[in-house]
Structure 1
Amino acid sequence: MIQTAPYGLLMSDLYLFNKGCAYHSFRFMGAHVMDWDGEFGVRFAVWAPHAREVRLVGHFNSWDGSGSLMERVSSTGVWVLFVPGLGEGAVYKYEIVTSSGQRLLKADPYAFLAERRPRTASVVSDLNGFAWRDKKWMDTKHLRPAYSNPLLVYEVHAGSWQLKGKEDFLTYDELAEQLVPYAAKMGYTHIELMPLNEHPFDQSWGYQITGYYAPSSRYGQPKQLMHFIDCCHVHGIGVILDWVPGHFCKDDHGLRRFDGTPIYEGNDERLAEKPLWGTLAFDFKRNEVVSFLISNAIYWMEMFHFDGLRIDAVASMINLHMDKPPELFTWNEYGGIDNLDALRFMKRLNETVFHYYPDALMIAEDSSAWPAVTSPTYLGGLGFNFKWNMGWMNDVLRYMSTDPADRSHHHHLLTFSLLYAFSENYVLPFSHDEVVHGKRSLLNKMPGSYEEKFSQLRLLYGYWIAHPGKKLLFMGGEWGQFDEWKDRDPLDWKLLDYELHGKMHKYVKALNHVYTNEPSLWERDQDPTAFQWIDVNNAEQSIISFIRYGKHGFTVTVANFSRNGYTHYRLGVPQPGCYRMILNSNEVQFGGSDSRSLKKYNSEKMGWHGYNQSISIYLPPLSFQLFSFASGDTH
């Protein structure tokens, strides 16, 4: 016999919730429109284990909870109430009376919608009934395994990609009309949205959250977000959500000391405090918190059809000392600084997500040296399937920021990454973090004259595309935004009217399409035998060249990071035949100076770079060139 709690709650669900195994807790916690005992209304359920009383307050009772006392379900710590006559749009909070008699007004941790800031109440929203059109996309995901397919991510902050006016954001519907076709035209395979979970402060960019289940009302209603994702899938674009399970903000209406005690953040303030960000860490050993967070990951995929999550600040979750002063240091039971509870949580998170969604993307934003982040948990790994390559990003940007005249002394910054490029499944990110807080935009990191900055950015992007690993580029980078990202202002779209910015935009579009159309650049990304240096040690000339092998062909890359050009640069190649230039960053149409029409090079039987065959090419300064070779192509 199935045991039920008041108003149809199942005791089995609450048991799993208390055990940390209710991976769909959003189905019964929070506010749900339903029929109960012949009446239409809304059932509310909230976890507040140490509360003396919990009352429901809102517009419907003039914020007086005296007649809306919630019922505690035995020892579960869950309180429940059914209110007949309520429906979608009802605005509410929980009035929690703590054990000391203090009264707190709290937003619903499981609310599907929140009022638009600065208001902080929760809003009843029914997520059922959306007419999805993406069945083909969802049914064929397994035919596009991420490891052996292109992954080219456009990172977007929804609040500043475009603006209609000051704090007049595009809605999810308007983003569907404008952003989706733009990303498709530019050749991106995925859009990654910076956190959309409800957050009170715009300048947190969504990384300090109060409503984990509520898509931000800045941009509209939940079903409008569904429409946006649906449009992405119809256009053949996947959608990734930047997800923040490591910490939450301290605003009074949020999770902090939710029932008067630290139930989400834990009792030990040394573990809870994140002083660098002014936030609180989740208590990963608390079962109900594990249910809350893993359910949240499942929720975005089940209800909104997100294709994956980018998990923020993994290193901060792993390391008990990271970004903390000595007085907040703690050690684990073995005397180490690894957060064992966080590690167990991440393993269970990935196991659960892949159980329900085997084709999901679970991407770790991790700057640590923790091993086997993208290995399966049964092999001792953390179970993610991709990890940001922060080491490559830091090295290559440091190298590109160096004047070309001095680069010969820093050649290792270009080549070191290939010593570990296949140790994890990597994404190569040029993210928002690299173009804020005085770091300068990617274009403005480049030394030299105005024209040289563009030449070098084109070169950098070419090397990025050709290097093993999946790709991510932050919005604005595609036309060489000159200023840092300004989160309160729209991107500098007007720059497209300027010649070199417009040509940079054209170049990135061409580069993106070359990437997605050339299997050797992604088909064997995890296979070290699919990469081969042609010339790795040419520090004196600051030139590198290498081969990427696909299943049925290969490409040859040559990149010149110096100001010296070469009319007849000889390049060793592995097979005799015709080598077709498929991209040249120095073409006039992209802002360069090369108007030469030669696109095909027949190899000569002249040994070079350790190969029996070679080609002689024109190699401009500060340039990237990509050649394709296919078996049987001789002319």
Structure 2
Amino acid sequence: MHNPVEVYSLFTDFDVNLFKAGKHYKLYEKFGAHYLEDHNRIGTYFAVWAPNASTVSVIGDFNGWNPHVHKLNIRWDGSGIWEGFIPGISLGQHYKYSIVSTNGEHLEKGDPFALLWEVPPQTASKVGTTWYEWKDTEWMEKRYLHNGLDRPISVYELHLGSWIRDPDKPNEILSYGQIADKLIPYIKETGFTHVEFMPLMEHPYYPSWGYQITGYFAASSRYGPPQEFMYLIEQLHLNEIGVILDWVPSHFPSDAHGLYRFDGSHLYEHADPRQGYHPDWSSYIFNYGRNEVRAFLISNAVFWLDRYHADGLRVDAVASMLYLDYSRKEGEWVPNKYGGRENLEAVSFIKEFNEVVYKNFPDVQTIAEESTAWPGVSRPTFLGGLGFGMKWMMGWMHDTLNYFKEDPIHRKYSHQQITFSTVYAFHENFMLPLSHDEVVHGKGSLINRMPGDEWQKFANLRVLYLYMFTHSGTKLLFMGGEFGQTSEWDSNRSLDWHLLNYAPHKGLFKFIAAINTLYKNEPALYEKSFSSEGFEWVELGDHENSVLVYYRKGNHKENDIIVILNLTPVIRYYYRVGLPYKGEYEVLLNTDDTLYYGSGVHVDNIVSEVFHWMNKDFSAKLTLPPLGGVVLKLQNTNI
């Protein structure tokens, strides 16, 4: 049969050489399915990397899925690239690659560079486009003002399919556009500066939450077409809300239509299961030492920043990439060439990824989910670091939750646990996360991990949030935490929005809006977030009363903030606090305010007196509310 595939290429020799060297960072402009329409041709160009294939055909709804009709041409430059132009194939048509390996194995694979896929559980790729007429130019030009490390960054993490659903159709997820109409006013009301979407790249298994990806270059079609996701991002930008995307370069699933054994060989993954198989997730680990794989992954990161205007990438499971023995027993892993446990190829890849991202998009942030003591995760590569902008502060999260679950009567014995984070707080650029990981797998909700009766649970959570938002570092809170979701997160159903009809939940919601406003309005809380100059303990030894006092400092001393936490349900009358300056101090926030479902213990503005206390020349007495915290700021020096 005559092959109706025209010899045609989008690759130059320079493109191919860059790809083989692992230095082509916009492979999505070359690989995949590209619909072309000009005076010479109307149809689609296909290109796929399959060096171990003996033949590669495009099969689809345009040829009855017949592998003998549209056979691609192999390039004779040793690149392993198969390509060709097929007239008449238009946008929206379904396709896969039919691959016969050199050992005779027949495979049907989706396109690794597909811009669009069928709605799962269907598994075909679709000829797609990411063309969109963006209207967020002003945001893109000025986002450095929102994304800088000296700016307030308060992130609302959400899973798109379970954030909100139509109560009349609880088993159906909403589209990107429907979510936009509800999410944007909600984020503006709560005051978060950014949203972080759990992975929205195409994934076959919904309960994986998006962390088992098959379509790395496609927004999930469960929620609508790519342009509708772009609309959601654009609308967030128009409302000065940044967008962070979860990105998963650590592993991929074994689905037959995915990357695993793509051309009959271990193309994207290591062949040795001690290096290529992930025991925790029954998935496969990218071969970071293979140039073409590195180019694939870095191009993917660039793609989401380029085509979708993402403002940051939160990189999942970095620790699993860094260590060869991660979740492995003795004898189940292969040491590096020096006999160590560090994955040198992954380290090199991570550094290159960060260098490429920051060179091309200097006003975005990369954020590492990294749980070990690996040094310099958020330090520049030229100083020997991995090059991330920020790192999740997992130690703070574990210590804080463990402390707060204690009955307050016992907290004096765990006092060091709540103060320990500042010992290492400035070793990295830390983001403080209370993420989805803390409300799944039997851990329960945040509110139900707090001790005591209903009032005490909510009081505990409010003061925990005050501690979080006034601690050094940026912030991340998973959806539902802002109003005290009582049940453990379930990706198959909506959050319990009806809880906002009840005073405790409504009060917590109002408190989150208030603490976000405080955080954004007070420069001392963000200007020196990653410097020891921005934090000072004033009282960290009062374990008997479980009281903490600390200052947050910015570029100008008149903006200094004083935070006082009383972590027991006992009202502390006439508690003396050391103060930095003479004058009157205003109460900016009181977690016990009745507006927030507090008990209403009022805290008056205070005037300092010349009385040396807590190593300060000035001090004053005030009332500390039960399980509460207050924030003070100098307002009047003419006293």
Amino acid in structure 1 at the alignment position of 2:143: K
Amino acid in structure 2 at the alignment position of 1:138: M
Deviations 1:477-515 (A, max 9, x none): 000111111110100101001111111111111111111
Deviations 1:44-85 (A, max 9, x none): 100000001000000000100211000001111010021111
Partners of 1:601 and 1:124 in 2: CA distance: 67
Which of 323-332 and 25-34 deviates more? 323-332
RMSD: 1.4
Q: Could you tell me whether the CA contact under 8 Å between 1:276 and 1:324 is conserved in 2?
A: no
Which of 592, 611, 624 is equivalent to 1:619?
624
Partners of 1:328 and 1:198 in 2: CA distance: 31
Structure 2 unaligned regions, length at least 5: 1-5
Which residue does the alignment assign to 1:528?
532
Change (3 A) 1:542 1:387: same
Amino acid in structure 2 at the alignment position of 1:543: V
Q: Give how far 1:568 is off.
A: 1.3
Which residue does the alignment assign to 2:379?
375
Which residue does the alignment assign to 2:29?
27
Which residue does the alignment assign to 1:120?
123
Which residue does the alignment assign to 1:628?
633
Change (3 A) 1:10 1:35: farther
Which of 516, 541, 547 is equivalent to 1:543?
547
Q: Could you tell me whether the CA contact under 8 Å between 1:465 and 1:471 is conserved in 2?
A: yes
Which residue does the alignment assign to 1:418?
422
Q: Give how far 1:207 is off.
A: 0.4
Partners of 2:71 and 2:330 in 1: CA distance: 45
Q: Could you tell me whether the CA contact under 8 Å between 1:7 and 1:36 is conserved in 2?
A: no
Q: Give how far 1:144 is off.
A: 3.8
Partners of 1:329 and 1:7 in 2: CA distance: 42
* 2:218 is the alignment partner of 1:253: no
1:241-390 paired onto structure 2 within 5 Å: 241-390=245-394
Partners of 2:280 and 2:143 in 1: CA distance: 39
Q: Could you tell me whether the CA contact under 8 Å between 1:114 and 1:198 is conserved in 2?
A: yes
* 2:587 is the alignment partner of 1:587: no
Which residue does the alignment assign to 2:150?
148
Deviations 1:383-439 (A, max 9, x none): 001000000100011100111111111111111111111111000000000010011
| Secondary structure of 1:65 counterpart | coil
Amino acid in structure 2 at the alignment position of 1:96: I
Q: Could you tell me whether the CA contact under 8 Å between 1:111 and 1:123 is conserved in 2?
A: yes
Amino acid in structure 2 at the alignment position of 1:158: L
Which of 40, 51, 54 is equivalent to 2:53?
51
Partners of 2:13 and 2:439 in 1: CA distance: 50
Partners of 1:526 and 1:478 in 2: CA distance: 25
Q: Could you tell me whether the CA contact under 8 Å between 2:60 and 2:94 is conserved in 1?
A: yes
Q: Could you tell me whether the CA contact under 8 Å between 2:147 and 2:365 is conserved in 1?
A: no
Partners of 1:356 and 1:210 in 2: CA distance: 26
* 2:117 is the alignment partner of 1:111: no
Which residue does the alignment assign to 2:3?
none
Amino acid in structure 1 at the alignment position of 2:575: Y
Q: Could you tell me whether the CA contact under 8 Å between 1:33 and 1:88 is conserved in 2?
A: yes
Q: Could you tell me whether the CA contact under 8 Å between 1:5 and 1:73 is conserved in 2?
A: no
Partners of 2:521 and 2:475 in 1: CA distance: 14
Q: Give how far 1:184 is off.
A: 1.7
Change (3 A) 1:634 1:232: farther
Which residue does the alignment assign to 1:91?
94
Partners of 1:629 and 1:137 in 2: CA distance: 34
Q: Could you tell me whether the CA contact under 8 Å between 1:376 and 1:383 is conserved in 2?
A: yes
Question: How many residues in Structure 1 have an aligned counterpart in Structure 2?
Answer: 629
Amino acid in structure 2 at the alignment position of 1:372: G
| Secondary structure of 2:117 counterpart | coil
Partners of 1:299 and 1:379 in 2: CA distance: 27
* 2:201 is the alignment partner of 1:201: no
Amino acid in structure 1 at the alignment position of 2:572: Y
Q: Could you tell me whether the CA contact under 8 Å between 1:274 and 1:324 is conserved in 2?
A: no
Q: Give how far 1:14 is off.
A: 1.7
Which of 585, 605, 614 is equivalent to 2:610?
605
Deviations 1:556-589 (A, max 9, x none): 0000111221121111101111111111000111
Q: Could you tell me whether the CA contact under 8 Å between 1:181 and 1:235 is conserved in 2?
A: no
| Secondary structure of 1:593 counterpart | coil
Q: Could you tell me whether the CA contact under 8 Å between 1:6 and 1:73 is conserved in 2?
A: no
TM-score (norm 2): 0.97
Amino acid in structure 2 at the alignment position of 1:505: F
Which of 67, 81, 86 is equivalent to 2:84?
81
Q: Could you tell me whether the CA contact under 8 Å between 2:538 and 2:549 is conserved in 1?
A: yes
| Secondary structure of 1:264 counterpart | coil
| Secondary structure of 1:240 counterpart | strand
Which residue does the alignment assign to 1:157?
159
Amino acid in structure 1 at the alignment position of 2:121: P
Partners of 2:583 and 2:506 in 1: CA distance: 36
Q: Give how far 1:328 is off.
A: 2.2
Which residue does the alignment assign to 2:517?
513
Partners of 1:247 and 1:429 in 2: CA distance: 22
Q: Could you tell me whether the CA contact under 8 Å between 1:443 and 1:482 is conserved in 2?
A: yes
Amino acid in structure 2 at the alignment position of 1:71: N
Partners of 1:634 and 1:442 in 2: CA distance: 44
Q: Give how far 1:608 is off.
A: 1.5
Which residue does the alignment assign to 2:139?
137
Which residue does the alignment assign to 2:499?
495
Q: Could you tell me whether the CA contact under 8 Å between 1:580 and 1:627 is conserved in 2?
A: yes
| Secondary structure of 1:7 counterpart | coil
Deviations 1:215-243 (A, max 9, x none): 00111100111101100100000000000
| Secondary structure of 1:168 counterpart | coil
Q: Could you tell me whether the CA contact under 8 Å between 1:5 and 1:11 is conserved in 2?
A: no
Partners of 2:96 and 2:396 in 1: CA distance: 46
| Secondary structure of 1:394 counterpart | helix
Q: Give how far 1:253 is off.
A: 0.4
Amino acid in structure 2 at the alignment position of 1:611: K
Which of 261-270 and 470-479 deviates more? 261-270
Q: Could you tell me whether the CA contact under 8 Å between 1:97 and 1:104 is conserved in 2?
A: yes
Amino acid in structure 2 at the alignment position of 1:146: G
Which of 439, 443, 465 is equivalent to 2:469?
465
Fraction of identical pairs, as percent? 43
| Secondary structure of 1:579 counterpart | strand
| Secondary structure of 2:437 counterpart | helix
| Secondary structure of 1:213 counterpart | strand
Amino acid in structure 2 at the alignment position of 1:557: V
Q: Could you tell me whether the CA contact under 8 Å between 1:49 and 1:76 is conserved in 2?
A: yes
Partners of 1:625 and 1:502 in 2: CA distance: 20
| Secondary structure of 1:169 counterpart | coil
* 2:44 is the alignment partner of 1:42: yes
Which residue does the alignment assign to 2:433?
429
Amino acid in structure 2 at the alignment position of 1:512: N
Amino acid in structure 1 at the alignment position of 2:218: A
Deviations 1:355-392 (A, max 9, x none): 10011110000001100111110110000010000001
